[in-house]
Amino acid sequence: MFTTKLVRIGLFALALGFVGAPALSHAGTSLSHGDVSFLKKASQGGIYEVQVGTYAGKNGGCYGVRSLGRMMAKDHAALNAKVGAWAQSQGVNLSTDPSLVTEAKIKMATQSTGKEFDRSALPTIIKAHQDDIAAFEKEAADTKNLELKSLVNDALLTLRHHLMMAQEVKAKMDSK
């Protein structure tokens, strides 16, 4: 019990960001500091979505959660590759590995299986996509880089679709 409590405290500290994210290089880029910061956060969010989506695709209790998980993993992997390649072309090297904070969030999200996982994961997936949509909309409004704005707007279509699907799966689950 004491060990479990220490692990939880450690994970909580990581989730609050007391441990830094992986290195990010952006020397020689024409992007603003805000754009680079956004790309860094979006990259880590995408890594989280791929890993949790893959887990959901295998360990979800109902078909809807498993299907949603597989879709999220596939779509976010494609977005990560597209954004990563574009960022690289702009002189920004995004890590493809999860930060310690992202690893802690993944670990917390993947501790259960079956219906227990479904009950805990769906609200988290919905909230994460709502938060992501808000951040992506803000970046689309704030960035001066037209290529980044286009990438962000394309990603918003995917994020909104995932949110809609997650809400539908949750509504079906809640009605049973």
For the segment 4-47, what is each residue's pLDDT rounded down to a tens digit?
443 343 434 333 333 333 334 444 457 999 999 999 999 999 99
pLDDT class of 91 with cuts at 50, 70, 90: very high
- What integer best gives the mean pLDDT of the chain? 87
**Mean pLDDT in residue range 70-90:** 97
Q: What pLDDT was estimated at residue 176?
A: 80
**Mean pLDDT in residue range 63-67:** 97
Report the alpha-carbon distance of residue 124 to residue 174 in Å, rounded: 15
pTM: 0.81
pLDDT class of 77 with cuts at 50, 70, 90: very high
**Tokens representing residue 175 in the block:** 């009605």
Report the alpha-carbon distance of residue 159 to residue 72 in Å, rounded: 9
User: Is the model's pLDDT at 141 over the cut of 50?
Assistant: yes
Contacts of 139 (CB under 8 A, 6+ apart): 34, 35, 38, 148, 152
Report the alpha-carbon distance of residue 49 to residue 124 in Å, rounded: 11
Q: What pLDDT was estimated at residue 29?
A: 59
pLDDT class of 81 with cuts at 50, 70, 90: very high
Judged by phi (left if over 0) then psi (alpha if -120 to 50, else beta), residue 49 lies in: alpha
Q: What is the CATH number of domain 2-21+31-174?
A: 1.20.1260.10
**Mean pLDDT in residue range 72-97:** 96
User: Is the model's pLDDT at 89 over the cut of 80?
Assistant: yes
User: Is the model's pLDDT at 136 over the cut of 80?
Assistant: yes
**Mean pLDDT in residue range 141-163:** 97
Report the alpha-carbon distance of residue 71 to residue 58 in Å, rounded: 12
Question: Is residue 56 within 8 Å of residue 66, measured between CB atoms?
Answer: yes
